[in-house]
Amino acid sequence: MGDGISRVSLTGTAELTFVDQVLDALERLCRAADGISEEDRTFFSLAVSEIATNIVTHSGCEGDAEVTVIADLTVDDAALSARFQDDAAPVAVALEEAELPDELAESGRGLAIAKMALDQLSHEVNNGHIWTLVRKRR
């Protein structure tokens, strides 16, 4: 490649096994790239896990058609980034309002954690959902 950019793209059904596949692919991508710090790798993987889990668990709520997710992961000299696109029925996501719940809460942390672990997190509804995740390399 020689341009300092590594990419991987995965397409799968919105199920928890897809989240594991994305995390496996990200691990391989980070290992192959040069000099990613432990903290960047950990926090970016955390955000990817939270958003991918959110996508597959919420797309199941519709109950009818199978939902397909495309995950694009990119590592370059400046940042780690991911883009998730699905074809689930559009749902509004209150991203700005996401914050950590009470410390003894058993759920409801995902989006808040993803925001904390990233420099940029955006969500748009467009025939499904598009999530963009960016963590600048420290």
Residue ranges binding other proteins (CB under 8 A): 16-17, 19-20, 23, 38-39, 41-43, 45-46, 49-50, 53, 57, 100, 103-107, 109-110, 113, 116-117
Q: Cα(72)–Cα(40) distance, rounded to whole angstroms?
A: 18
Both tokens of residue 124?
């748009």
Beta carbon of residue 1, minimum distance to other proteins (angstroms, whole number):
27
Tokens 């793209």 found at: 9
Q: Cα(2)–Cα(77) distance, rounded to whole angstroms?
A: 12
Both tokens of residue 99?
């914050």
Q: Would you say how long the chain is, in residues?
A: 138
Beta carbon of residue 54, minimum distance to other proteins (angstroms, whole number):
10
- For other proteins, the closer of residues 107 and 126 by Cβ is 107
- For other proteins, the closer of residues 114 and 134 by Cβ is 114
Q: Of 79, 91, 89, 90, which is closest to residue 132 (Cα–Cα)?
A: 79
Beta carbon of residue 17, minimum distance to other proteins (angstroms, whole number):
7
- For other proteins, the closer of residues 8 and 113 by Cβ is 113
Beta carbon of residue 89, minimum distance to other proteins (angstroms, whole number):
21
